[in-house]
Amino acid sequence: MRRETLTAVSLGGVTVDLTIEGRRIARVAPNPGPARALILPPLIDAHVHLDKTHAVDRVPARPSSLHDAIDLAAADKVHWTTADIDARATRALTEAEAAGIAALRTHIDWSDPARPQAWDVIGDLAAGWRDRVHVQRAALVPLDLLGDADLGPAIAADVASTGGVLGAFVYRNDDLPTKLAHVFALAKKHDLLLDFHVDEGLDARARGFDDIVALTARHRLAGRVLCGHGCALAIRPEAEVAVLLDRAAEAGVALTVLPMTNGYLQDARPGRTPRLRGLAPMQEARNAGMDILIALDNVRDAFYPYGEYDLLDAWRVAVMQAHLNPELWIDAITTLPARALGLPDRTLAPGDPADFVLLDAPNLTGLIDRARLRPTVWRAGRPLTAPEPAREIA
């Protein structure tokens, strides 16, 4: 059986020698010297858009607002053939795997009662990638459609029959509480996880998050409801938000923060430097007891024209924008999104699978210093990419 030891690596802030036998970790022993490299659990991205991704070269203009981006993305759908979606999403998954992402949840536009083509295309792709990157599909349905008492039930049943997650875009909808109540009832009926795009704008009147928190508590769905964005929380009165975050933590609602797309789109006006970046109060939310995740969101599409599927890049941006302590926030892209997606906790202890990310940095601060650092991704006891030096092989 192949045996390999990674020496002087930082694991959970402690310098160790990590020995691998076959496909599993055999031994973790303390090392008194300084760490030369860093080991992280597999990265988990809870919020991407594989249906839209890598289409930026077809987008005729840069968006001036979120709603402008929505219109630009809708116009691009004339190009969305099976082959087109498959090619763009395959590129995304290839990038994600190379960057150490072991699992992701992709939102897929579901704008009409009928199941969208992309749902099946990405479902087939997920089956082919199951041993490389675990892919969950979340239906991104307008709340006015999913909350419709006549149309919503068929959509929820379809999502349930295909193993998906139920989700909606929520932003100052008419009769919002009633429509959200319908969505929660559908999730309960079909035992579905919920994932909302909510209050993605700088309008203090956007308060869908409040209703989601109340409904989660009422239905006792702690750990089964994830919200993304929450930009409006950044501009509401701080005392009011503090009470709301306490309620969200007690209800068991988690929040995904998307620093790159929100930073690009929010408060955007031509010829003017943005003042407000739409970053949800993530430190306050975490201090209240909420699970806070960091994710990529859009990559090279109408919403965000740059980047690749490098989750550490989004983490670095969040650390800098929100003044986070790197040592305390790495779980926002590892263990916490795994929990939100209902995946098993991936520990790195003797007997565990040797699945991890190895980086040529002595600690998490080193990941900020070396922004272009590429990881060595290990799966089942072997590196997928060229291994780093300073290893002893027995």
Lookup: tokens for 175: 């009769």
How many angstroms separate the CA atoms of 47 and 107, rounded?
7
Do residues 336 and 293 lie in contact, with contact meaning Cβ atoms separated by under 8 Å? yes
DSSP E strand boundaries for the chain: 3-11, 14-21, 24-30, 37-40, 43-48, 101-109, 134-142, 165-170, 194-198, 225-229, 253-257, 292-294, 356-359, 376-379, 382-383, 391-393
Q: CA nearest 299: which of 36, 29, 15, 55?
A: 55
How many angstroms separate the CA atoms of 180 and 182, rounded?
5
Active site residue 200: yes
Q: Of these residues, 4, 21, 200, 238, which one is catalytic?
A: 200
At position 30, the amino acid (one-letter code) is P
CA end-to-end distance (rounded Å), the chain: 10
Residue entry with tokens 């700088």: 202
Q: How many helices (H) and strands (E) does the chain have?
A: 14, 16
How many angstroms separate the CA atoms of 89 and 65, rounded?
25
Please give the positions annotated as active site.
200
